Amino acid sequence: MLYSEKHNVCIYQSDEPQRIVQIIKTATIINSNTIAVPCTLWNMQVMRAMGFNAISPILHEYQWQGRYKPFEHQKHMSAFLTLHPRAFNLADIGTGKTLGTLWAADYLMSKGVVKKAIILSPLSTLHRVWHDEVFQHFLGNRKAVVLHGSREKRIQLLSKTDADFYIINHDGLGVGCHRGLRGLVLGELANTLKEREDINMVIVDEGSVYKDSNTMRYKVLKQVVQDKDYIWWLTGTPIPNGPTDAWAQARIVRKDYTESYKSFQDRTMMRVTNFKWVPKPESTRIAANALQPAIRFHREECIDLPPCQFVMRDVDLTKEQEKAQKALKTALAAAIGNGAINAVNEAALRMKLLQVSLGAVYDVKHDTHKIDCAPRIAVMREIIEQTKDKILIFAPLTSVINLIYSNLRNDYTVEMINGEVSPSKRNEIFRAFQHEKAPRIIVADPRTMAHGLTLTAASTIIWYGPTDMPEVYTQANGRINRPGQVKSMLVVRLAATTLEREIYKRLDNKESMQGAVLTSIKRGEIE
């Protein structure tokens, strides 16, 4: 294929040019085996569907929206998606899938091909990733609304708000759905999304959560999206548990994919006992073929990415945490009223609020009391699953480090570093982490890793909760940002409260933590 920018046409060699002309009326036969096809969106989509290479018009006619110029790999992402109404974007976490997808959607909306879109994503990314990206890059051109809250609130937001992007968490789609005598009965929200013809695009982020076709989550989604024009499926880890994870995802995205699960299992897995199956040598290739058409970028391949990216992930508080936060807030309000707030007791209160958020609170005897923090643990595990690389997890308190370690040790190769671990043991853990396959994860007090260490085997850091020491924060992040690092780095920060976000903001600016609690109060935003 040749592309003429001057004439905006693609020149193809084909043994059957008449077949192309029958479908694309604007195509011109040049000679017996050469044909010129105008480079329009529809023409290029047709040529791709017929098995030819194609150039998306987005590359030469779209004004890339937002504060940033797209990276080269993001342009390719966007172009690929515009040419494939149903497709997989399997790029790694941290490669800019979100914005690349939104640019492609915005372009199709500007062409009138897509009217509105529904985005399904984890709870932690509803606001801090998808909504923020629409707000920051498409303000004035596109509107997004997050469908979150009670069933009634979600339905009202959907029916009463005119938006380009409706954003909902994976399980939120299933609110009100149930199994009836004749099969699945959709709830009002899911049924409305299914029936609304103006919502003709579905973007599924972290699509591998639908890998099990037996779940209610899967059955609801499949029924809702089966007639939608566009389905874009985003996940950097499409087969986390094995090649058979690909089957359910392929059945949702691809209209042409009809293979039974049993057939796919027999082709990809070998039965060694009545209860144990192992992947066949060719299983990865078969799974990859099922997840087509697809585009994939590894983080290390994206050479124009910034050296280190910082992202925030929202986490919810449990009822128990909310109750404890409210009690502390009441005590704080009383102290302010009595004029008893000073730098010392404000710092103590700040730490107590953080302990509640992180799930482990010290009493006056320094005994630890655990508080249900399941949402934060779930988001941490979600991020771990989104990358196959080694990871550092930082938390500011020994009790919290123990909590994280006990939660992860049965599922991952993980080591723990705190003040109680001897120097010789630490050195052995660091050596193994840097040079051997295991451990994959180190959970650590950042103060024990703030100076001198090189841990470039990891390219991802998770801050389970913020430290209140700017120097420690900067130095801990520097453990992966050292000579020998060959990948773009990602620092993911978890936050449930305005106070935590205020602390991260001050850490970024290397500011004192004094007054962080009072600043949150003045804004009327402390949870």
Q: 118: pLDDT confidence band, cut at 50, 70 and 90? A: very high
Contact (CB, 8 A) for 390 and 489: no
C-alpha distance from residue 234 to each of 166, 175, 192, 474 (Å): 17, 23, 23, 32
Contacts of residue 236, Cβ cutoff 8 Å, sequence gap at least 6: 90, 91, 92, 93, 95, 97, 386, 387
Amino acid, res. 450:
A
Question: Which uninterrupted H or E stretch holds 264?
Answer: helix 261-268
Q: 110: pLDDT confidence band, cut at 50, 70 and 90? A: very high
Contact (CB, 8 A) for 313 and 510: no
Torsion of the alpha carbons at 134, 146, 79 and 141, rounded to the nearest 10: -40
**Which token pair is 355?**
């302990």
C-alpha distance from residue 278 to each of 243, 284, 345, 362, 413 (Å): 10, 12, 58, 46, 21
What sign does the CA torsion over 117, 312, 488, 397 have? negative
**Which token pair is 463?**
């801050």
45 and 149 both lie in a single domain: no
Token pair 């630890």 in the structure block, residue: 368
CA dist 178 and 65 (Å) reads 41
- Within 13 Å of residue 75, how many CA atoms lie on the same side as its CB? 16
Q: 527: pLDDT confidence band, cut at 50, 70 and 90? A: very low
| 327 vs 195 pLDDT, higher one | 195
| Cis preceding-peptide flag for 466 (omega within 30 of 0) | no
Q: 334: pLDDT confidence band, cut at 50, 70 and 90? A: low
Mean pLDDT across the stretch 134-154? 94
C-alpha distance from residue 355 to each of 330, 361, 471 (Å): 17, 5, 21
Pairing of strands 269-271, 277-279: antiparallel
Q: Which of 121-130, 221-230, 512-521 has the lowest mean pLDDT?
A: 512-521
Q: Which of 310-319, 389-398, 496-505, 516-525 has the lowest mean pLDDT?
A: 516-525
Q: Which of 207-211, 463-467, 521-525 has the lowest mean pLDDT?
A: 521-525
* 15-47 per-position pLDDT tens digit: 989 999 999 999 999 998 999 999 999 999 999
179 and 295 both lie in a single domain: yes
CA dist 212 and 241 (Å) reads 11
* Number of other residues whose CB lies within 10 A of the CB of residue 42: 13
Per-residue confidence (pLDDT) for residue 329, from 0 to 100: 77
263 and 411 both lie in a single domain: no
**Which token pair is 502?**
């205020």
In a domain, 451, yes or no: yes
C-alpha distance from residue 171 to each of 120, 161, 196, 232 (Å): 9, 21, 20, 18
Q: 517: pLDDT confidence band, cut at 50, 70 and 90? A: low
| Cis preceding-peptide flag for 439 (omega within 30 of 0) | yes
> Does position 523 have pLDDT exceeding 60, yes or no?
no
**Which token pair is 350?**
């700040």
CA dist 144 and 397 (Å) reads 38
Of 284, 219, 293, nearest to 255 by C-alpha is 293
CA dist 320 and 380 (Å) reads 19
93 and 22 both lie in a single domain: no
In a domain, 119, yes or no: yes
φ and ψ at residue 459, rounded to 5 degrees: -125, 5
Mean pLDDT across the stretch 334-353? 69
Residue 304: is it exposed, middle or buried by C-beta count within 10 angstroms (0-12/13-18/19+)?
A: exposed
In a domain, 167, yes or no: yes
267 and 383 both lie in a single domain: no
Per-residue confidence (pLDDT) for residue 347, from 0 to 100: 79
Mean pLDDT across the stretch 391-415? 96
Per-residue confidence (pLDDT) for residue 107, from 0 to 100: 98
CA dist 66 and 510 (Å) reads 28
Q: Which of 267-281, 320-334, 442-456, 462-476 has the lowest mean pLDDT?
A: 320-334
Per-residue confidence (pLDDT) for residue 341, from 0 to 100: 53
Domain range for 38:
2-49
Mean pLDDT across the stretch 343-368? 84
Contact (CB, 8 A) for 70 and 100: yes
Pairing of strands 308-314, 489-495: parallel
155 and 293 both lie in a single domain: yes
> Does position 402 have pLDDT exceeding 90, yes or no?
yes
In a domain, 339, yes or no: no
Per-residue confidence (pLDDT) for residue 519, from 0 to 100: 65
Mean pLDDT across the stretch 92-112? 96
8 and 140 both lie in a single domain: no
434 and 460 both lie in a single domain: yes
In a domain, 350, yes or no: no
* 407-428 per-position pLDDT tens digit: 999 999 999 999 899 989 999 9
116 and 215 both lie in a single domain: yes
| 302 vs 163 pLDDT, higher one | 163
Contact (CB, 8 A) for 14 and 21: no
Per-residue confidence (pLDDT) for residue 365, from 0 to 100: 81
Contact (CB, 8 A) for 166 and 116: yes
Mean pLDDT across the stretch 248-257? 97
> Does position 182 have pLDDT exceeding 90, yes or no?
no
Of 391, 455, 444, 392, nearest to 419 by C-alpha is 444
Each as own residue / partner, the long-range contacts of residues 506-514 (CB below 8 Å, 24 or more positions apart, any chain) are: 506/470, 507/466, 507/467, 507/470, 507/473, 507/474, 508/310, 510/470, 510/474, 511/470, 513/347, 513/350, 513/468, 514/343, 514/346, 514/347
Per-residue confidence (pLDDT) for residue 366, from 0 to 100: 81
In a domain, 120, yes or no: yes
Token pair 């919290």 in the structure block, residue: 400
| 516 vs 118 pLDDT, higher one | 118
Contact (CB, 8 A) for 492 and 311: yes
What length does the chain have? 527
203 and 241 both lie in a single domain: yes
Per-residue confidence (pLDDT) for residue 525, from 0 to 100: 47
Per-residue confidence (pLDDT) for residue 505, from 0 to 100: 92
Find the CATH number of the domain harbouring 512.
3.40.50.300
Contacts of residue 320, Cβ cutoff 8 Å, sequence gap at least 6: 371, 372
Single pTM value for the model: 0.88
In a domain, 234, yes or no: yes
Mean pLDDT across the stretch 292-307? 87
Per-residue confidence (pLDDT) for residue 522, from 0 to 100: 59
Q: Which residues pair with 343 in a beta bridge?
A: none
93 and 187 both lie in a single domain: yes
Q: 521: pLDDT confidence band, cut at 50, 70 and 90? A: low
CA dist 218 and 223 (Å) reads 9
* 224-243 per-position pLDDT tens digit: 999 999 999 999 999 999 99
In a domain, 505, yes or no: yes
- Within 13 Å of residue 354, how many CA atoms lie on the same side as its CB? 27
Q: 487: pLDDT confidence band, cut at 50, 70 and 90? A: confident
CA dist 11 and 29 (Å) reads 10
Find the CATH number of the domain harbouring 151.
3.40.50.10810
**Count of structural domains within the chain:** 3
Q: 504: pLDDT confidence band, cut at 50, 70 and 90? A: very high
Per-residue confidence (pLDDT) for residue 217, from 0 to 100: 96
User: Given 301, 329, 351, which residue is the final one in a domain?
Assistant: 301
18 and 74 both lie in a single domain: no
